[in-house]
Amino acid sequence: MRKLFYAAFAYMLIGVASGLFYREFTKLNDFPEGQPTQLGLVHTHLLVLGFVVLLIVLLLEKAFGLSESRLFGWFFWVYNAGLVLTSAMLVWHGCLTVLGQESSKMIAGIAGVGHMLLTAGMVMLFLALRTRLFAAKPAVAAD
């Protein structure tokens, strides 16, 4: 449960900082306001997929003991790897856009791997949740 709490807290801090970075980096480089860049997406990805989702998972852990499922550890690490990879590629691509440089297809490919890891993590979360929701309950002794 501590891992979920600290991970959610870290994503909240990094998500807020990424919003500040986006605003200041685009100003510093005279990037036209309103012109789209991937940097604007990092803030929301980290806050929603990191902070909010992990807080929800923390509540599910408290209610159903998700960590008792052997899939839970896999979910945690695969999901976080996917979120970090996806966010890093958004930052990289966004910085290149602001600097007026062209990005390579490699960035899109790596971001795609990040999204696949996020998806796999979500599937593992639902499988872990299913095992905990429908776990055999101890029989109540008849009087």
Render pLDDT for 86-106 as a digit per residue (tens, 0 to 9): 999 999 999 999 999 988 889
Amino acid found at 4: L
Prediction pTM value: 0.88
pLDDT digits (tens, 9 = 90+) for 37-60: 899 899 999 999 999 999 999 999
Domain ranges across the chain: 2-133
